[in-house]
Amino acid sequence: MSDREFANTFPDYAGEKLLNAQGKIADDLRKQLQSEIDRQLQRLYEGLASTDPSDYSIYTGSTGIALLHFHLSNIFDHDENPRYLKRALSYVEHPLRHLKRKKATFLCGDAGPLALAAVLYHRIGHQDKCEDCLNRLFSRHKDVSSDHVDLPDEFLFGRVGYLFALLFVQRHLGKEYVNPDLISEVFRTIISSGKKLAQRERSECPLMYAWHDKEYLGAAHGLVGIFYTLMLVEDPVYKNVLRELVKPSIDWLMTLRYQSGNYPSSIGSTTDKLVHWCHGAPGWVHMFAQAYKTFGDVKYLEAARGCGEVVWRRGLLRKGYGICHGVAGNAYTFLTVYRLTGDEKYLYRAYKFAEWCFDYGKHGCRTPDRPLSLFEGLAGTIYFLADLLHPADAKFPAFQL
């Protein structure tokens, strides 16, 4: 046990059956999850009245609450009364009128509300409003396609955060909704930015990126989030670029692994402390899983499994139960490896982390700054619990497609 995490005293997997004969989550577990989701949703609604209305980000603001409700709608809504879908829209309509035009990313900028609202309006049959949101979203591409040196490339505030919004629209509305030239322009700008810094620094890694002059590595601010998102672009046009530049970059990153199996948060960091989605193995696992799908090399699958071991040992964080740097986000490590391998050990581990989240607030963890939000707080935990009802489809919110 350290000052960062609690000791994991759960017994490890010993052949427990979590699925029924139809391959669905077993009835008793489903009921338990359902009642926890209801209980925690109630807590969320009670607290939401006192949150900051000017924060509209997916990361900590109202669009994050909207994204949770879109997720609940996909799981629970019936066509005759899409109540979660309507609630989702109610959380995003205010932001749409008050966008600040400061950042263009999915998680922290205008692209999140615009992309999500487009999908929600489409679902509810308001095609004109959907088109309006899409036009506003696409009009921001010039902000990220220029080679502006000040503009970062990372996921939270940079170019891949905008690229992800385009891919999110494609995923939910169809490829024909996004002009491939937009994707191409952003993709190429990111590659060119990475090549330039790598050459300038004579880096062994063919693509290098920095945020605030520091070469971060994790999913939120670093190379892992960038390479992961680039691999999500499935168009065969990019196959060679991925193989010639992204793959060797990932191979280079693999050499930075700590003895413990965890990975550093930035280049040169030797303090093996952070086991979060934003910094460390719980973010890297998504890059490895995607690399396995994209390139088919089994070493990436093994690397993903390795992340599953570190997170099992060190993933019960004192920082809380959230998605970005909390237990729910860490549990997606197991769900990702489970989806990749079908190995129930990982589903079991995810379920144990869910049980930890059932005792939300009782372990003496730090209270996050935005305790109800999707990425720091309760909304993210609920998102994760709902994903466990259909673990074969579970996806880390606003990151996996």
Q: Is 221 annotated as a binding residue?
A: no
Which stretch, 164-172, 257-265, 321-329, 350-358, contacts Zn ion (CB under 5 A)? 321-329
Q: Which residue among 324, 337, 347, 378 contacts Zn ion (CB under 5 A)?
A: 324
The stretch among 155-163, 325-333, 353-361, 380-388 that binds Zn ion (CB under 5 A) is 325-333
Whichever of 57 and 73 has its CB closer to Zn ion, that residue is 57
Q: How far is the CB of 147 from Zn ion (least distance, A)?
A: 29
Amino acid residing at 188:
R
Query: Positive or negative CA dihedral for 130, 133, 135, 138?
Result: negative
370 in contact with Zn ion (CB under 5 A): no
Q: What does the longest C-alpha to C-alpha distance in the chain come to? A: 60
| Between 122 and 325, CB nearer to Zn ion | 325
CB of 334 to Zn ion, least distance (A): 18
**Structure tokens given for 158:** 């940079």
| Tokens of residue 331, six digits | 């549990």
Under rule CB under 5 A, residue 33 binds Zn ion:
no
On the 0-12 / 13-18 / 19+ scale of CB atoms within 10 A, 185 is middle
Q: Which stretch binds Zn ion (CB under 5 A): 10-18, 27-35, 151-159, 319-327?
A: 319-327
Kindly give, in sequence order, each residue whose CB lies less than 8 Å from that of residue 36, ignoring residues fewer than 6 positions away: 354, 357, 358, 385
Query: Torsions phi, psi of 153, nearest 5?
Result: -110, -10
CB of 325 to Zn ion, least distance (A): 3
Could you give the CA distance from residue 119 to residue 398 in angstroms, rounded to a whole number? 13
- Contacts with 347 (C-beta within 8 Å, 6 or more apart), sequence order: 18, 19, 334, 335, 338, 391
Stretch of 39-47, 119-127, 323-331, 388-396 contacting Zn ion, by CB under 5 A: 323-331
CA distance 293 to 278: 22
Supply the minimum distance, in Å, between the C-beta of residue 382 and Zn ion.
Answer: 18
Residue 349 CB, nearest approach to Zn ion (Å)? 21
Residue among 195 and 273 whose Cβ is closer to Zn ion: 273
Q: How far is the CB of 207 from Zn ion (least distance, A)?
A: 23
What SS3 state is found at 266? strand
- The site that binds Zn ion (CB under 5 A) totals a number of residues, namely 3
| Cβ closest to Zn ion, residue 207 vs residue 365 | 365
On whether the CB atoms of residues 225 and 154 are closer than 8 A, the answer is yes
| Contact code string over 265-304 relative to Zn ion, x by CB under 5 A | -------------x--------------------------
Q: Taking the complex as a whole, how short is the minimal distance between the CB of residue 310 and Zn ion, in angstroms?
A: 16
Place of tokens 């909390």: 326
d(CA 246, CA 311): 25
The DSSP secondary-structure symbol of 159 reads H
| Structure tokens belonging to residue 385 | 């619990």
Contacting residues for 105 by C-beta, under 8 A, at least 6 apart: 111, 112, 155, 156, 157, 158, 161, 162, 164, 165
Q: What are phi and psi of 339, to 5 degrees?
A: -65, -30
Closer Cβ to Zn ion, 206 or 329, answer by number: 329
Closest distance of CB 220 from Zn ion, Å = 6
Q: Is 357 annotated as a binding residue?
A: no
Within 70-99, the residues that bind Zn ion by CB under 5 A are: none
User: Would the annotation count 278 as a binding residue?
Assistant: yes
Task: Check residue 325 for interaction with Zn ion (CB under 5 A).
Answer: yes
For residues 156 and 169, which CB has a smaller minimum distance to Zn ion in the complex?
A: 156
Annotated binding site: 278, 324-325
Question: What is the contact surface with Zn ion in residues (CB under 5 A)?
Answer: 278, 324-325
List the binding residues for Zn(2+): 278, 324-325
